[in-house]
Amino acid sequence: MRITCLLLVLLCSLPATAQDGELAGPIWGEGPEDNGSGGTKDAGATASTAQQVSSPLAAASGSTLTRINGRTFAGLLQDDLVDLYEISITNPTTFLATTQGSGFDTALFLFRKVIGSDGVAEARAVAMNDNSISSVTYSKLVGSSIPGLTAGAHYIAVTKSGGVPTGFKSPDNDPLVMFTYTQGSTAIVLPTATQATYTLADWANLGEGGDYQIEFGGCVVTRSGSCSSAIVLGAGVYSFGNAGTSDSSATRIGLGATCGDVGAWISNPSWFQLGACDGPVQISVCPSVTTATYQMVVFAGSCGDLEPIACGTLGACAGGTGSTITLTPDPCTTYYVAFGARRTSGASPSSAGTLTITCTPNGPSCGVAGSGSCFSPHATPTCDSLTCCSAVCALDAFCCNVRWDNICVQGAYATCAPPPACPPSDPDLDGNGVIDGGDLAILLSQWGT
């Protein structure tokens, strides 16, 4: 168990991504945050791997989106040269997306989300721009220059200038370019009528990017109403803006079989993924409207294959009637939480409210001053950064119960964000007594930070 979990992290982890999202807008970070909250994965390159700009904390009709912060890079094990986000355009005439302030020469691509005949989401070309004006390298798309732009779900992608999406005319064909543009062009480029029918499949001519920011107008962070759009919430206190969610039979979670609450359901729930914690977790949801009752269900597994494992206990809270769950998570299991107004056949108001997640780590406390750097091995358990120590121990309790050894140090380099400001003076980065390729891999994985 110990080796397996950490090895997974070491193999799969990527350099820390740009931070400072606010989880319900107006600023969205590609994630993860310092406490583990945020996007669950890199913003991908196709419709199926796009990061949804969606949050359980957003208002029922969406919360304003003003910016996305993220990063693309060329990595040792894996390149990340495209970031694609699913965004919701609410006002096509004020729609704006600009990469001004980004750290490289960007190109921006906008796609419409359509659902194919097989029920799978597809991305179709709408417009792109390389340079806003001739004296700059940032990109800018404005709704007034995009004929036929409609409100609704879209995808937006950022790459280094020169990159171009390719798409299928039909599944039997090789992918063809979806936009024809000249590098350095200041035009807002539209696809040809034929290109507009292609389905995004891949990208060509990609180059190394860096940190970027995309400023938005006319867009919202949608409320996360499905498992697939769930972001991670780690320990913390969060405000949610659930007021106005409606009862909808398609999204009901029955509370009879799962919770013994016959004839009741959660309707139109909001979803999140529970952040890692090495120890008991308490989750509480409390609606601010005094006549509202909020309930939640915890599921284990993956989206599409979820098993309910716990129901909240209802009780009076600071507002109306809230719900509390305490569970001891298995570090290698993924948990999803759905919460919302508990409804029966009678009226049951929805409400804004507060969500509180408390993590009580087992063993000696993380983050105690003088307990040793998380990035150097020592004979005692834990280390002096609460965030980093908690993240590593959630994957490997040995580090908090026995000793902060070389494996824990490797775990710190692989999981902790942000990494140390400067590399340590000892080039034996993984502390195994030899200066070798392992140290180089760690160094390269943190390149740029």
Chain residues that interact with Ca ion, rule: CB under 5 A: 42-43, 80, 83, 105, 130-131, 137, 161
Non-local CB neighbours of 428 within 8 Å, separated by 6+ positions: 434, 435, 439
Q: Least separation, in Å, of the C-beta of 146 and Ca ion? A: 18
Q: Least separation, in Å, of the C-beta of 408 and Ca ion? A: 27
Exposure class string for 162-177: b at 16+ Cβ within 10 A, else e: ebbbbbbeeeeeebeb
**Of 105 and 215, CB closest to Ca ion:** 105
Q: Least separation, in Å, of the C-beta of 21 and Ca ion? A: 13
Q: Least separation, in Å, of the C-beta of 212 and Ca ion? A: 9
Two structure tokens written together for 242: 């659930």
Amino acid, single-letter form, for residue 318: A
Q: Least separation, in Å, of the C-beta of 85 and Ca ion? A: 10
Closest listed residue to residue 396, CA positions, set 366, 426, 423, 439: 366
Closest listed residue to residue 33, CA positions, set 211, 240, 275: 275
Q: Least separation, in Å, of the C-beta of 107 and Ca ion? A: 5
Non-local CB neighbours of 248 within 8 Å, separated by 6+ positions: 267, 268
Closest listed residue to residue 39, CA positions, set 47, 48, 50, 373: 50
**Of 83 and 439, CB closest to Ca ion:** 83
Radius of gyration of the chain (CA): 23
**Of 73 and 406, CB closest to Ca ion:** 73
Considering Cα of 421, then 422, then 426, then 428, what sign does the dihedral take? positive
Rounded distance, CA 189 to CA 285, Å? Answer: 47
**Of 59 and 107, CB closest to Ca ion:** 107
**Of 202 and 247, CB closest to Ca ion:** 202
CB atoms within 10 A of CB 118: 6
**Of 131 and 245, CB closest to Ca ion:** 131
Report residue 251 CA to chain centroid gap: 22
Rounded distance, CA 342 to CA 292, Å? Answer: 8
Q: Least separation, in Å, of the C-beta of 233 and Ca ion? A: 20
**Of 83 and 396, CB closest to Ca ion:** 83
CB 416 within 8 Å of CB 41: no
**Of 376 and 446, CB closest to Ca ion:** 446
Q: Least separation, in Å, of the C-beta of 140 and Ca ion? A: 10
**Of 90 and 137, CB closest to Ca ion:** 137
Q: Least separation, in Å, of the C-beta of 373 and Ca ion? A: 28
Q: H-helix or E-strand containing 176?
A: strand 176-177
